[in-house]
Amino acid sequence: MSPDTPPDGPGTRERAPGIPPAGPGTLLEVRDLRVEFRTRDGVAKAVDGVSWSVAAGETLAVLGESGSGKSVTAQAVMGILDTPPGRITGGEILFRGRDLLKLKEGERRRIRGAGMAMVFQDALSSLNPVLTVGDQLGEMFTVHRGMSRKDARAKAVELMDRVRIPAAAERVGQYPHQFSGGMRQRIMIAMALALEPDLIIADEPTTALDVTVQAQVMDLLAELRRELGMGLVLITHDLGVVADVADRIAVMYAGRIVETAPVHDLYKAPAHPYTRGLLDSIPRLDRKGQELYAIKGLPPNLTAVPSGCAFHPRCPMARDVCRTDEPDLSEVSRDRGSACFFWRECLRG
Amino acid sequence: MPEAQYDDGRAIAPTGGGGAMDLATAEGETLEKAPAAPPGPGPAGRPRSLWSDAWHDLRRNPVFVIASLVILFLVAISIWPQLIASGNPLDCDLAKAQQGSQPGHPFGFDGQGCDVYTRTVYGARTSVTVGVCATLGVALLGSVLGGLAGFFGRAPDALLSRLTDVFFAIPVVLGGLVLLSVVTSNTVWPVIGFMVLLGWPQISRIARGSVISVKQNDYVQAARALGASSARLLLRHVMPNAVAPVIVVATIALGTYISLEATLSYLGVGLRPPTVSWGIDISAASPYIRNAPHMLLWPAGALAVTVLAFIMLGDAVRDALDPKLR
Amino acid sequence: MAEPTRPTEPIIEVRGLYKHYPLTRGVVIRKQVGAVRAVDGVDLDLFAGETLGVVGESGCGKSTLAKLLVNLERPTRGSIRYKGEDITRLSARALKAVRRNIQMVFQDPYTSLNPRMTVGDIVGEPYEIHPEAAPKGDRRRRVRELLDVVGLDPEYVNRYPHQFSGGQRQRIGIARGLALRPEVIVADEPVSALDVSVQAQVVNLLERLQGEFGLSYVFIAHDLSIVRHISDRVAVMYLGRIVETGRDAEIYDHPTHPYTQALLSAVPVPDPSVRERRAAAGGNGGRIILSGDVPSPTNVPSGCRFRTRCWKAQERCAREEPELAVPERFREAVGPARHDSACHFAEERCVVPSD
Lowest mean pLDDT among A7-16, A327-336, C20-29, C167-176: A7-16
**B62 burial type by CB count under 10 A (0-12 exposed, 13-18 middle, 19+ buried):** exposed
Residue B173 has pLDDT above 80, yes or no: yes
Residue B44 has pLDDT above 70, yes or no: no
Q: How close does chain C come to A210, measured CA to CA in Å? A: 6
Cα separation, C293 vs C238, whole angstroms: 12
Regarding beta strands C184-188 and C216-221, do their DSSP bridges make them parallel or antiparallel, or are they unpaired?
Answer: parallel
Lowest mean pLDDT among B7-21, C174-188, C273-287: B7-21
Quick one: average pLDDT of C266-274?
78
A181 vs C contacts (CB less than 8 Å): 58, 293
Quick one: average pLDDT of A1-27?
54
Closest partner residue to A211 (CB to CB) among C57, C168, C270 is C57
In chain C, how many domains are there?
2
A-to-C residue pairs, Cβ atoms closer than 8 angstroms = 133
Q: Across the interface, do C126 and B226 touch by the CB < 8 Å criterion? A: yes
Cβ contact B98:B115 at 8 Å: no
My answer on whether C148 and C283 are in the same domain is no
Cβ contact B303:B278 at 8 Å: yes
Select the more confidently predicted residue: A20 or B197. B197
Residue A17 has pLDDT above 70, yes or no: no
Could you tell me which of B200, B167, B193 has the C-alpha nearest to residue B179?
B193
Q: How confident is the model at residue A289 (pLDDT cuts 50, 70, 90)?
A: low
Select the more confidently predicted residue: C246 or B43. C246
CATH code of the domain containing C144: 3.40.50.300
User: Could you tell me the residue range of the domain that residue C303 belongs to?
Assistant: 255-341
pLDDT at C284: 56
Select the more confidently predicted residue: B217 or B6. B217
- For chain C, give the percent of residues with pLDDT over 90: 40
**3-state SS class at A306:** coil
- Residues of chain B whose beta carbon is less than 8 angstroms from a beta carbon of chain A are 11, 13, 16-22, 24-27, 30, 32
Residue C53 lies in a domain: yes
Give me the torsion for CA of C304, C308, C312, C318, rounded to 10°. Answer: 40
Query: What size, in residues, is chain A?
Result: 349
Give me the torsion for CA of A297, A298, A304, A309, rounded to 10°. Answer: 70
B12 vs A contacts (CB less than 8 Å): none
CATH topology of domain B51-325: MetI-like fold (1.10.3720)
- DSSP-H helix ranges across B80-153: 116-152
Q: Does C252 touch chain B (CB under 8 A)?
A: no
User: Could you tell me the residue range of the domain that residue A300 belongs to?
Assistant: 258-284+292-349
Cβ contact A88:A35 at 8 Å: yes
- For chain A, give the percent of residues with pLDDT over 70: 91
My answer on whether C82 and C159 are in the same domain is yes
Q: How confident is the model at residue A15 (pLDDT cuts 50, 70, 90)?
A: low
C87 vs B contacts (CB less than 8 Å): none
My answer on whether C142 and C217 are in the same domain is yes
My answer on whether C182 and C307 are in the same domain is no
Residue B3 has pLDDT above 60, yes or no: no
**A49 burial type by CB count under 10 A (0-12 exposed, 13-18 middle, 19+ buried):** middle
Collect all residues with Cβ–Cβ distance below 8 Å to B201 and sequence separation of at least 6: B142, B163, B164, B167, B168
My answer on whether C287 and C208 are in the same domain is no
Regarding beta strands A256-262 and C77-82, do their DSSP bridges make them parallel or antiparallel, or are they unpaired?
Answer: unpaired
In chain A, how many domains are there?
1
Q: Which residues pair with A34 in a beta bridge?
A: A48, A90
Quick one: average pLDDT of A188-214?
84
The nearest alpha carbon in chain C to B38 belongs to C156
The nearest alpha carbon in chain A to C1 belongs to A290
Could you tell me which of A263, A249, A238 has the C-alpha nearest to residue A61?
A249
- For chain C, give the percent of residues with pLDDT over 70: 93
Residue A249 has pLDDT above 90, yes or no: yes
My answer on whether C329 and C217 are in the same domain is no
Select the more confidently predicted residue: B69 or B263. B69
Residues of each domain in chain B carrying CATH 1.10.3720.10: 51-325
What pTM value is reported for the model?
0.81
Q: What is the pLDDT of residues A73-122, one digit of tens each?
A: 998 998 888 877 888 998 999 988 888 888 888 888 888 878 888 888 87
Residue B63 has pLDDT above 60, yes or no: yes
Residue A98 host element (H or E):
strand A98-99
pLDDT at B138: 94
B16 vs A contacts (CB less than 8 Å): 41, 301, 303-304
Q: Distance between terminal CA atoms of chain C?
A: 22
Quick one: average pLDDT of A117-132?
83
Q: Across the interface, do B225 and C149 touch by the CB < 8 Å criterion? A: no
Cβ contact A259:C201 at 8 Å: no
Residue A211 has pLDDT above 90, yes or no: no
Residue C236 lies in a domain: no
Quick one: average pLDDT of C332-355?
79
DSSP 8-state assignment for residue B102:
B
User: Which sign, positive or negative, has the C-alpha torsion A264, A268, A273, A276?
Assistant: positive
- DSSP-H helix ranges across A29-132: 70-78, 105-114, 123-126
Angle, vertex CA A301, rays to CA A300 and CA A304, nearest 5: 100
Q: What is the pLDDT of residues C323-343, one digit of tens each?
A: 898 888 888 877 788 899 999
Q: Does C74 touch chain B (CB under 8 A)?
A: no
Cβ contact B36:B14 at 8 Å: yes
My answer on whether C106 and C224 are in the same domain is yes
pLDDT at A8: 41
pLDDT at C198: 84
Residue B21 has pLDDT above 50, yes or no: no
Residue C159 has pLDDT above 70, yes or no: yes
pLDDT at C144: 92
> Which B residues 6-45 touch C at CB under 8 Å?
6, 10-12, 15, 18, 20-26, 29, 38, 40-41, 43-44
Q: What is the pLDDT of residues C118-145, one digit of tens each?
A: 999 999 999 999 998 888 888 899 999 9
Quick one: average pLDDT of A204-211?
80
Cα separation, B230 vs B238, whole angstroms: 10
My answer on whether C19 and C155 are in the same domain is yes
My answer on whether C226 and C266 are in the same domain is no
pLDDT at C281: 62
- Mean pLDDT of the residues in chain A: 83
Give the strands of the sheet with C241-247, arranged side by side: C102-105, C184-188, C216-221, C51-55, C233-238, C241-247, C340-341
Q: How many CB atoms lie within 10 A of CB C268?
A: 22
Give the DSSP letter string of B215-248. HTSHHHHHHHHTT--HHHIIIIIIHHHH-HHHHH
Q: What is the pLDDT of residues C177-236, one digit of tens each?
A: 999 999 999 999 998 888 887 888 899 899 999 999 999 999 999 888 888 888 999 999
pLDDT at B28: 31
Residue A337 lies in a domain: yes
Cα separation, A257 vs A328, whole angstroms: 9
Q: What is the pLDDT of residues C22-48, one digit of tens each?
A: 888 766 677 778 888 999 999 999 999
Select the more confidently predicted residue: B114 or B111. B114
Q: How many CB atoms lie within 10 A of CB C273?
A: 15
